[in-house]
Amino acid sequence: MGDYQIQCAACGQLYPDTGSNECPDRHAALQRTVYTAQRLQCADLPGMMRFYDWLPIHCKPAVTAGPVTYRSVAFAREMGFSNLYITFNGFWPEKGASVKTCSFKELEAVPTMQRASEKKSGILVVASAGNTGRAFAQIAAEMNTPVVVVIPKKSLPLIWTTIQTDQVLLITVDGDYSDAISRSIAIAALPHLTAEGGAKNCARRDGMGTVMLDAATTIGRIPDYYVQAVGSGTGAIAAWEAAQRLVRDGRYGSHLPHMILSQNLPFVPMANAWKAGRREIDPMIDMADATQAISQVYADVLTNRNPPYGITGGLFDCLTETGGEIFTVSNDEARQAQRLFEECEGIDLDPAAGVTVASLITAARDGNIDPCRDVMINITGGGYKRVQEAYDLVPVNAALATDRTTGMDQIAGFVNDWVKEHA
Ligand SMILES: [Zn+2]
């Protein structure tokens, strides 16, 4: 039950989980879980806890968030696909989808918070542009576990929960996502706190990997194509890792899905590097005028400047092994795709999912996807209209607003006092 070891993607050594996200020999590589249960046994539990066997945790938190896969009729007909499967991560109770903060980031938050608490790693510090912070705040409330969330000031309206909680310490920075990340690194170095680790955290990736598990167990086989817009690419890496486990399971086929990924123009560093055949992102070529480009992107959750692309076990390896591709999508194409999807399927999408749908439309039009194969599309967020009908959303207030003049000693004093009350 829930037994696993960790394996370094570079040196291959297996070792017990201490809660760290680094190889004991410090290789720059993703660390993966290797589960004792080679055959996936789905538990009779709600949401993602069905896939508890392949999550790096020993207790099952009582949460309902989870992916829901169904076969599309209207949108599939519009697109001319025979077998189009939608894995929906958001709020849509009529379909059994109960991710209340409407993004697949909740799937990361659940096992990440559970693993940190089991490993006594300390209170997690999360930097976010919005969706991740909202997801961790919600799960902190549901699991009654404290979390520190650091966001750009402009993202404040995006941080809400469906239940009142005192478990979230929300800190704003006067800057962009990159400034929130730098501030969060300094805060995570304070006593009793720890950085959540981003893509390097196997719990985050295996949480998102449940999207592929849900699709494969619903379809009965690993899909031939996996479609998703990427900012860091962590969701795609997670889906690829989950597909590898399904291949070892043996009941879902021996093929890996082609990864059909996309980024939102004009900020498309991974698409540029991949097109040039490079494992490394060259900041001068692939993300020139980054600040200006980022400010023009519609789906701003896709604007990660430091994605796990070249790292061993990262997105370059994922695309290479799966015969994948990264497309680029304009803001107009994303908006049109959102409208078309909502008309056909009856649910609203977040901008990043709009980019995903737009990339499917272009890939199909240009003959890059065989419409007769099993196509799975990861809808990473949606149902924002629906959740407002079901819940009174509770805004999370910023406990501390910082700017460039705020000293670290001042922040440390404030955070330490809060930690004393919550640790
Ligand atoms: Zn290693």
Indicate whether 252 and 211 sit together in one domain.
yes
Which of 300, 299, 271, 264 lies closest to 285, judged by CA? Answer: 271
Q: How much distance in Å is there from the Cα of 59 to the middle of ligand 1?
A: 28
User: What percentage of the chain carries pLDDT values higher than 90?
Assistant: 96
Strands 258-264 and 4-8, sheet pairing = unpaired
Q: How much distance in Å is there from the Cα of 212 to the middle of ligand 1?
A: 26
Structure tokens at 118: 């089991």
Number of domains in the chain: 2
* Position 46 in a domain: no
Mean pLDDT (the chain) is 96
Indicate whether 250 and 364 sit together in one domain.
yes
* Domain span at 129: 123-191+393-422
Indicate whether 84 and 225 sit together in one domain.
yes
pLDDT in the model for residue 1: 45
Indicate whether 154 and 289 sit together in one domain.
no
Q: How much distance in Å is there from the Cα of 107 to the middle of ligand 1?
A: 27
* Per-residue pLDDT reduced to its tens digit, 265-275: 999 999 999 99
pLDDT in the model for residue 2: 55
For residue 267, CA distances in Å to 185, 209, 291, 293, 301 come to 24, 26, 9, 5, 11
Residue 341 has pLDDT above 80, yes or no: yes
Indicate whether 88 and 136 sit together in one domain.
no
Residue 404, domain CATH: 3.40.50.1100
Indicate whether 156 and 286 sit together in one domain.
no
Indicate whether 401 and 375 sit together in one domain.
no
pLDDT in the model for residue 175: 87
Residue 423 has pLDDT above 80, yes or no: no
* Per-residue pLDDT reduced to its tens digit, 123-159: 999 999 889 999 999 999 999 999 999 999 999 999 9
**Average pLDDT in the 354-382 region?**
97
Q: How much distance in Å is there from the Cα of 235 to the middle of ligand 1?
A: 22
Q: How much distance in Å is there from the Cα of 31 to the middle of ligand 1?
A: 8
Q: How much distance in Å is there from the Cα of 17 to the middle of ligand 1?
A: 14
**Average pLDDT in the 43-69 region?**
96
Q: How much distance in Å is there from the Cα of 140 to the middle of ligand 1?
A: 32
Indicate whether 247 and 229 sit together in one domain.
yes
* Position 35 in a domain: no
> What gap in Å lies between CA 332 and CA 290, rounded to an integer?
20
* Position 96 in a domain: yes
User: What percentage of the chain carries pLDDT values higher than 70?
Assistant: 100
Indicate whether 186 and 226 sit together in one domain.
no
* Per-residue pLDDT reduced to its tens digit, 192-216: 999 999 999 999 999 999 999 999 9
Q: How much distance in Å is there from the Cα of 22 to the middle of ligand 1?
A: 8
Q: How much distance in Å is there from the Cα of 387 to the middle of ligand 1?
A: 43
* Position 38 in a domain: no
* Position 118 in a domain: no
Indicate whether 85 and 129 sit together in one domain.
no
* Position 148 in a domain: yes
* Position 277 in a domain: yes
Q: How much distance in Å is there from the Cα of 60 to the middle of ligand 1?
A: 29
* Position 31 in a domain: no
pLDDT in the model for residue 176: 84
pLDDT in the model for residue 231: 94
Indicate whether 253 and 346 sit together in one domain.
yes
Residue 161 has pLDDT above 60, yes or no: yes
User: Structure pTM?
Assistant: 0.97
Indicate whether 275 and 360 sit together in one domain.
yes
Residue 220 has pLDDT above 50, yes or no: yes
Q: How much distance in Å is there from the Cα of 242 to the middle of ligand 1?
A: 20
For residue 101, CA distances in Å to 95, 105, 390 come to 16, 9, 12
